[in-house]
Structure 1
């Protein structure tokens, strides 16, 4: 018996040793696997000058046509992996979501003061705490709490367009800001509120992150160079940005705290959190830690919501001016379901398949975040015989996937019909929201709030207004040429159009 037991122990130990050696061999073999294909690089700098500076989603798409949907670039010792098709995105970012849940360490995020925004946070406890708090207030069963704020924002937009349709951009941004600040902080704002200009300056700095992307390939010591030296204007701009970015996190939160002290409690996220934290006064350190988490989560919600939804609604207005047949079909559906005596409500949505398809197509046509926010590989990985090294920056080219003619035929055309079958939304067609809001562990937790806000605004505008091309000096229509500007959040550069009440004279915008 003892002999058999000894043999069994020896067998187990031998098997364990063999497994360890096998694991090491596999690891060594993985390190010998090639990186995904990509353009040849130059000595020392590698592919630094191959990284597209403008409209990178198009540059990466064109390179992917030559090198494949999983492509690699190397720049000054850094590895960049670009994903250009839906299957690879799902295989890596969803099925292996933990491996790709990290973010790269970005110098410009730290320099501009955006490191409190958990969108850019490394994967870990700090990120989990903030995302968990965010999700409590933006999960599907919670977003119905903000309908009154959304109705108020809709009314502001419609009233503004009726009074001065030439100020479409200002009215749209104001209504979105009112919805978001009201839902999160309970803030009641006027169109000329001085806080808005400060917040806008901070939000504009997000574009600085992409325009200064090459700084990521320069040693971090650049951030410690004195801003007064000649040629360091970019650093002086950074210093100005930091103050505005700080105001996004601290000013509206301070407003909510002051309102709570005076008893002016609005129904909003911040007041709910402040009320909960007030019961932890006997645990001061815990309360302070939780308040920091709450300020980060609330500030992230505001920063992430306004610009992305503004960019998406730009697309909607341009598409309606270019595709009047689509607009007429949506308006006919609204008239049939809603009639003319009331505005669309959330409860009507299930009976509006064409409007729902139109919203999906708005997300697909020109994604507001065409290359998303970069990921970072937490560990070495292998995919289809290629090695993806730990620490590699991973970019999802959402724009390229949304314009893949194998998934969406004739992708340049705005066509809600691609999402419909037999008068209903076709579940077999890939929903753009499954990618344009991110994928895997880094999917946007505010996507349901964004979706309900877009429905409220788009359905109400279609119900009340006619959108058409702008007119030149001779009164002839001038079609807009859709062109998305370079940026993490990409806006249309030209989106002038004519907006008029469906029963009134047109007014040029």
Structure 2
């Protein structure tokens, strides 16, 4: 099956979706409200890729506590209130107890887990046996194991505090393994824990929305792993053996021990005996063994509940007994460090109840009312499974006048329910007191968060009591002997804690602080695996490699530029007719030709030729800013656009120049919209570009039909004007004119008309300069002005240097720049602080490569994370600070040993920006000129309020500042005089 055949399957699926979409419309009760749906794909492109519970919370505020999210073939109903969840999932559990089918869970062989099993006789059998061993009345028989493992944890933290988080994770794993399999050998226990961690990684990966296209197009599960589109099979082939070993190996060890007469009491041993007694000879011994094995495996793995659907998202871990308890334990530690007053109050209660001469045990817990409230508040404040585990309704239902379609996936948004201010006033605060009544006991009138956090109806977590008992004794033990603080990192700086799941430090009580830094795993839009400087993100048909360090980018994009100089294909760029642009052209003969001609006109030696235009246009900007300071951002855009247009096309008239600037803006906007992630499904499924705009699914063609003429006009119209001027013998020197004559000379056609191919080269190269330089230089200039307003001490120091070098009686020119060392450092810091292209321009590798022991697949899109490279604290200490001094040496000159940010900000290898010298010279004279005559401050908005400036940037491809200063005041009478002289010169020039 090749890509065309695979695409045909997808198109067939899309066609079925159209039929399905049209057939399901009827005159029955209306569907529940939800976000606006797009034809054919519904809300697929709106579905949040990260922290969806927060997005669903925002949508619910607009659409209500029962909300429909329309995904192809999979309508999703989100319940955002306890009332709705209890009415449906508890009150109608007979029809809401099923689970949605997951193609990935099927491929991975997770189908034996109780959380994945369909509602039916097998599930009821498994659930009954599980409940018999983990019901509330059974928990006390496991207290001794849990207590022993908890005290081992306390010792290990004291001995190796740098591994505290690993010790916490080991606590619940080793406890459950000893309970279920009787394993007491520490080495063997750790092997089992490691197996479970690896297996559960597959459950977490498959839970990431959009990670596997097979969850939407189930037929793809039949595509072999060695074919394009076989990602699901490849992944399953890797993890399936691990999952089966996790389930089978500990159970087989117990079987062997039973046969050898050395088995110890455990859940697995008891299950074998119990099932044998229950079934006798009515079932085969193999069937009995499977039941015992699977039920034991569910307890061991924690049932991987949150991974049962590709639409559920895991925050930290994805299970109930083992991993949910681990995540709650981590949340508890974080809360104690963030809310020290709660920690102190709980410790005071422990000292009162337990005393200082011993450790807490389970007999103490009933008297520890405040500690019990802290555990409840931990469950509420940071639920381990924010979206609960999806349910599935097999029959159509109705609630509150809305129809819930048959086949809907029903998701309880536990995160929103646990932040309902009616149940929990001031929900963002960590307040255990909310659960304690006036009589000093737990208040039964306050909604118990465990009734929401551990699921609903018949699918509520059967291991809840075990998990809470482990968490409670762990919390009591930790607080009794340790003070928990944020701690410091390896550089001695305090950790900044937030309500994301992060652990930082433990210290023996009243003794010392021990740092330990942690962070949540990285995932973005697909299954992501971190390899240090290199990150692999697996998207359908588009493997992506992200380079996070200058070393990795230099090694690959510079050092191996012969294989890393291509560009990925963009179907939308093809539709828009932008494939002529130098930055987009595939690496090859045409690119080399275009690059050579571009370089001939924009290399470092040619840039001084354009200085007069830079100076003239910059001084126009100063005059315009003086007359209308509140629209300075528009003046900056005009400066950059008009400078480039005059240089490339010789255009000096303001009206015509402005028309060209607006054409470029419209064309670049189309390019930004077209390539925004998720904007057009055609970027993932190129065959969709063939669907005519008048048909459903033809959004790519419709968009291109409107915007393509703008792109073509931007490229063609100015060039045609130059050609017309040449024919009329009134052409002025410019890049376009020089390109035409240069190409004529090289092809021996001086004075003759260019061939169509030769004219195309001249037109396209001129268009590249016109379109490419304007947006990037504008963004850099805007960032510079923002930085000067945000960091006034930098502004004052640069102005002092200008006063010393230039003086107050004139404006700066290019002869001054070499003496303006601090200003040059400011420009360098500006490039570093707010890079215009934070992720650079993607490269593409057409052959497989290897780097530091890892394989980089053929066909990978390679992205350089310039933003992160320019914030590497080893190269740029205190990277969040705007510090031009970092580039100045002890001798007062630019320090050549400091990494130059322009070597990162302008790209790598053979695809480095060929116009960087042009851009930097224009930016530098602009910066010197505006600082010499203006003080830049935040100013007031249209409502008279002070503009709140920040370093936040747009996410539309080019990184522009979101906020911009509005106060530009002449620095002095002398400065105002210089500006007024410019105004007079402009008036005389216009006469």
TM-score by length of 1: 0.88
Cα displacement (A) at 1:276: 3.3
Matched, 1:244 2:242: yes
Partner residue of 1:387 out of 394, 403, 417? 403
Equivalent position SS for 2:198: helix
Q: Is the contact made by 1:36 and 1:70 (CA closer than 8 Å) also made in structure 2?
A: yes
Residue 146 of structure 1 corresponds to: 142
With over 3 angstroms needed to count, the CA separation of the structure-2 counterparts of 1:188 and 1:244, relative to structure 1, is same
Cα displacement (A) at 1:298: 1.3
Equivalent-residue separation in structure 1 for 2:507 and 2:38 (angstroms) = 55
Residue 87 of structure 1 corresponds to: 83
Matched, 1:404 2:423: no
Matched, 1:420 2:418: no
Residue 16 of structure 1 corresponds to: none
Cα displacement (A) at 1:479: 2.8
Residue 197 of structure 1 corresponds to: 194
With over 3 angstroms needed to count, the CA separation of the structure-2 counterparts of 1:278 and 1:130, relative to structure 1, is closer
Equivalent-residue separation in structure 2 for 1:31 and 1:111 (angstroms) = 39
Equivalent-residue separation in structure 2 for 1:286 and 1:251 (angstroms) = 21
Partner residue of 1:126 out of 107, 122, 128? 122
Equivalent-residue separation in structure 2 for 1:191 and 1:326 (angstroms) = 37
Residue 169 of structure 1 corresponds to: 165
Matched, 1:32 2:31: no
Matched, 1:359 2:356: no
Q: How does 1:269-280 map to 2 (within 5 A)?
A: 269-277=267-275
Cα displacement (A) at 1:190: 2.1
Equivalent-residue separation in structure 2 for 1:84 and 1:188 (angstroms) = 44
Equivalent position SS for 1:444: coil
Equivalent position SS for 2:41: coil
Equivalent-residue separation in structure 1 for 2:103 and 2:229 (angstroms) = 19
State the superposition RMSD in angstroms.
Answer: 2.1
Residue 505 of structure 1 corresponds to: 512
Cα displacement (A) at 1:31: 6.8
Alpha-carbon deviations, 1:156-178, whole Å to 9, x = none?
21011110111112101112111
Residue 260 of structure 2 corresponds to: 262
Residue 449 of structure 2 corresponds to: 432
Gaps of 5+ in 1: 1-29, 484-491
Q: Is the contact made by 2:214 and 2:220 (CA closer than 8 Å) also made in structure 1?
A: no
Q: Is the contact made by 2:153 and 2:167 (CA closer than 8 Å) also made in structure 1?
A: yes
Q: Is the contact made by 1:107 and 1:215 (CA closer than 8 Å) also made in structure 2?
A: no
Q: How many residues align?
A: 472
Equivalent-residue separation in structure 2 for 1:95 and 1:392 (angstroms) = 17
Alpha-carbon deviations, 1:183-216, whole Å to 9, x = none?
1111124258334322211011111121155636
Equivalent position SS for 2:283: helix
Partner residue of 2:38 out of 37, 42, 53? 42
Matched, 1:51 2:51: no
* Rg comparison, structure with higher value: 2
Equivalent-residue separation in structure 1 for 2:490 and 2:471 (angstroms) = 33
Q: After superposing the two structures, state which structure 1 stretch, 394-403 or 285-294, moved more.
A: 285-294
Alpha-carbon deviations, 1:194-247, whole Å to 9, x = none?
343222110111111211556365221211111112464453222111111112
Alpha-carbon deviations, 1:376-395, whole Å to 9, x = none?
11322111100112221100
Q: How does 1:171-190 map to 2 (within 5 A)?
A: 171-190=167-186
Equivalent-residue separation in structure 1 for 2:134 and 2:279 (angstroms) = 26
Equivalent position SS for 1:372: coil
Equivalent position SS for 1:73: strand
Equivalent-residue separation in structure 1 for 2:420 and 2:301 (angstroms) = 30
Q: Is the contact made by 1:156 and 1:171 (CA closer than 8 Å) also made in structure 2?
A: no
Partner residue of 1:480 out of 489, 494, 497? 497
Equivalent position SS for 1:376: strand
Q: Is the contact made by 2:223 and 2:229 (CA closer than 8 Å) also made in structure 1?
A: no
Matched, 1:298 2:315: no
Residue 328 of structure 1 corresponds to: 344
Q: After superposing the two structures, state which structure 1 stretch, 282-291 or 428-437, moved more.
A: 282-291
The runs of at least 4 consecutive aligned structure 1 residues that moved more than 6 Å come to none
Cα displacement (A) at 1:473: 5.2
Alpha-carbon deviations, 1:312-344, whole Å to 9, x = none?
111011111100000000000011000012221
Equivalent-residue separation in structure 2 for 1:394 and 1:403 (angstroms) = 20
Equivalent position SS for 2:483: strand
Q: How does 1:460-471 map to 2 (within 5 A)?
A: 460-471=477-488
With over 3 angstroms needed to count, the CA separation of the structure-2 counterparts of 1:333 and 1:407, relative to structure 1, is same
Cα displacement (A) at 1:69: 0.8
Alpha-carbon deviations, 1:414-453, whole Å to 9, x = none?
1111111221111111111001100111111111111111
Matched, 1:71 2:67: yes
Residue 217 of structure 2 corresponds to: 219
Cα displacement (A) at 1:100: 0.6
Equivalent position SS for 2:475: helix
Cα displacement (A) at 1:508: 1.6
With over 3 angstroms needed to count, the CA separation of the structure-2 counterparts of 1:115 and 1:135, relative to structure 1, is same
With over 3 angstroms needed to count, the CA separation of the structure-2 counterparts of 1:32 and 1:38, relative to structure 1, is same
With over 3 angstroms needed to count, the CA separation of the structure-2 counterparts of 1:245 and 1:496, relative to structure 1, is same
Q: After superposing the two structures, state which structure 1 stretch, 322-331 or 410-419, moved more.
A: 410-419
Equivalent-residue separation in structure 2 for 1:277 and 1:440 (angstroms) = 26
With over 3 angstroms needed to count, the CA separation of the structure-2 counterparts of 1:217 and 1:271, relative to structure 1, is closer
Equivalent position SS for 1:64: helix
With over 3 angstroms needed to count, the CA separation of the structure-2 counterparts of 1:474 and 1:107, relative to structure 1, is closer
TM-score by length of 2: 0.46
With over 3 angstroms needed to count, the CA separation of the structure-2 counterparts of 1:499 and 1:109, relative to structure 1, is same
Equivalent-residue separation in structure 2 for 1:105 and 1:299 (angstroms) = 21
Residue 313 of structure 1 corresponds to: 329
Cα displacement (A) at 1:262: 1.8
Cα displacement (A) at 1:280: 7.8
Equivalent-residue separation in structure 2 for 1:212 and 1:90 (angstroms) = 26
Alpha-carbon deviations, 1:47-78, whole Å to 9, x = none?
11122221111111111111111000111132
Cα displacement (A) at 1:355: 0.4
Q: Is the contact made by 1:466 and 1:502 (CA closer than 8 Å) also made in structure 2?
A: yes
Q: Is the contact made by 1:33 and 1:386 (CA closer than 8 Å) also made in structure 2?
A: yes
Gaps of 5+ in 2: 1-25, 303-320, 517-991
Q: RCO greater where, 1 or 2, for CA within 8 Å and sep 6 or more?
A: 1
Q: Is the contact made by 1:280 and 1:287 (CA closer than 8 Å) also made in structure 2?
A: no
Equivalent position SS for 1:393: strand
Q: After superposing the two structures, state which structure 1 stretch, 125-134 or 279-288, moved more.
A: 279-288
Q: Is the contact made by 2:388 and 2:413 (CA closer than 8 Å) also made in structure 1?
A: yes
Alpha-carbon deviations, 1:108-143, whole Å to 9, x = none?
110221111010111100110100000000111111
Cα displacement (A) at 1:277: 4.5
Partner residue of 2:360 out of 344, 347, 367? 344
With over 3 angstroms needed to count, the CA separation of the structure-2 counterparts of 1:415 and 1:448, relative to structure 1, is same
Equivalent-residue separation in structure 2 for 1:109 and 1:461 (angstroms) = 37
Q: After superposing the two structures, state which structure 1 stretch, 189-198 or 289-298, moved more.
A: 189-198
Q: After superposing the two structures, state which structure 1 stretch, 52-61 or 496-505, moved more.
A: 496-505
Q: Is the contact made by 1:101 and 1:378 (CA closer than 8 Å) also made in structure 2?
A: no
Residue 136 of structure 1 corresponds to: 132
Equivalent-residue separation in structure 1 for 2:116 and 2:353 (angstroms) = 42
Residue 445 of structure 1 corresponds to: 462
